[in-house]
């Protein structure tokens, strides 16, 4: 999309996707201990033949490597296509389709597979909305914190509201379909998240991720205020912790609340610092590249217009 807001946010988008190799390295412990995390990977003898082959350890690792490889290639392709209109159209058209499919598969592999007996046909899209909401809030928040001017807040508020509406729609749709179908293997997934204190976490997520931001963004003053927008982006990122907990932790048996909380805080601080350091490094490197690209940009535009005029004749 060629708009002013894409021009100003592009360096932050590039830096955010530039840390994918670091994220891939951070995923290695999950692969090393996948037998302890995923019951289906540890023992697939009780599963149907297809699921038993799908959850084979070597195949699980192979799919994870493929996912990260494709994302890294797509990010580099989009970065190299910037300021070349024809290349941007090709990269965005193909990339959006591939990205949607691969993210959906990754969500099913990494999160839904914690409970191999449960399946929802919309789960991949729910994970996609998780990633999209998280990324959008981070990029807008980082743009507001940067010294550069990224434009009026009203447009970014609308962008944030749109992804929040998508997130709410997908979760609501899954709930309605599963509850109306009344299939025990699917309904018990919600029952496990409606007891033992999880009902309060679910209520906090519903209020903090949709009710409050939606009502706040209805106000024109809130939409036009960068401080309000920054606060809503921070709230959205915090709600990802609650959503992760609801999606993942009820599937793991015999968890110690105190130990789990301490480990999550420690891991969050460590990974947060590592990812932010990588983000700043990629952002600084991108500033040098943009300075050289800006010098040849007018000539590229003129050549592109000449080619288009020639094709039209």
Question: Which residues have a Cβ under 8 Å from the Cβ of 194 and sit 6 or more positions away?
Answer: 202
- Cα–Cα distance list, 61 to 29, 98, 110, 208, 248 (Å): 12, 20, 11, 35, 19
Average pLDDT, the chain: 86
Most distant CA pair in the chain: distance in Å? 72
Percentage of the residues of the chain whose pLDDT score is greater than 90: 48
Give the whole-angstrom CA distance, residue 69 versus residue 277.
Answer: 22
For the four alpha carbons of 296, 299, 305 and 307, in that order, the dihedral sign comes to negative
152 vs 111, more confident: 111
Q: By C-alpha distance, which of 158, 166, 15 is closest to 79?
A: 15
Name the pLDDT band for 60 (thresholds 50, 70, 90): very high
SS3 64: helix
pLDDT at 308 over 70: no
Which pair of structure tokens corresponds to residue 173? 């749709």
More confident residue, 305 or 196: 196
Q: Taking a C-beta distance cutoff of 8 angstroms, is the pair 61, 74 a contact?
A: no
CA distances from 206 to 75, 201, 284 (A): 32, 9, 37
Contact yes or no for 87/2 (Cβ under 8 A): no
Question: What is the rounded CA–CA span in Å between residue 291 and residue 18?
Answer: 18
**Percentages (nearest 5) of helix, strand, coil residues in the chain:** 85, 0, 15
Residue 150 scores a pLDDT above 70? yes
Nearest to 170 by CA among 131, 224, 117: 131
pLDDT, tens digit, 9 for 90 and up, residues 36-49: 888 888 887 777 88
pTM (two decimals): 0.85
pLDDT computed for residue 299 by the predictor? 53
Strand, helix or coil for residue 3: coil
Give the number of C-alpha atoms closer than 13 A to the C-alpha of residue 120, restricted to the C-beta side. Answer: 29
């Amino acid at each position: 999309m060629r708009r002013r807001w894409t021009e100003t946010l592009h360096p932050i988008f590039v830096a955010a996707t530039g840390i994918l190799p670091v994220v891939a390295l951070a995923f290695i412990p999950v692969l090393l201990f996948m037998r302890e995390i995923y019951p289906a990977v540890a023992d697939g003898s009780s599963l149907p033949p297809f699921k038993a082959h799908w959850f084979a350890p070597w195949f699980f690792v192979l799919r994870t490597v493929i996912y990260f490889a494709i994302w890294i290639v797509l990010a580099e392709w989009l970065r190299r296509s910037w300021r070349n209109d024809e290349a941007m159209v090709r990269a965005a058209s193909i990339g959006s389709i591939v990205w949607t499919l691969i993210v959906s598969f990754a969500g099913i592999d990494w999160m839904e597979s914690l409970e191999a007996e449960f399946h929802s046909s919309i789960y991949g899209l729910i994970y996609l909305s998780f990633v999209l909401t998280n990324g959008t809030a981070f990029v807008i928040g980082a743009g507001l914190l940067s010294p550069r001017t990224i434009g009026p807040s009203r447009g970014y508020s609308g962008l944030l509201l749109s992804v929040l509406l998508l997130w709410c729609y997908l979760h609501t749709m899954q709930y309605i379909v599963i509850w109306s179908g009344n299939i025990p293997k699917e309904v018990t997934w919600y029952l496990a998240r409606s007891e033992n204190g999880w009902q309060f976490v679910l209520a906090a997520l519903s209020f903090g991720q949709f009710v409050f931001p939606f009502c706040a963004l209805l106000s024109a003053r809130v939409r036009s205020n960068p401080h309000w927008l920054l606060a809503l982006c921070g709230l959205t990122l915090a709600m990802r912790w609650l959503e992760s907990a609801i999606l993942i932790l009820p599937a793991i048996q015999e968890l110690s609340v105190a130990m789990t909380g301490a480990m999550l805080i420690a891991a969050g601080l460590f990974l947060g610092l590592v990812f932010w350091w990588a983000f700043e490094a990629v952002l600084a490197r991108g500033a040098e590249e943009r300075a050289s690209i800006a010098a040849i940009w007018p000539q590229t535009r003129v050549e592109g217009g000449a080619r288009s005029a020639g094709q039209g004749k």
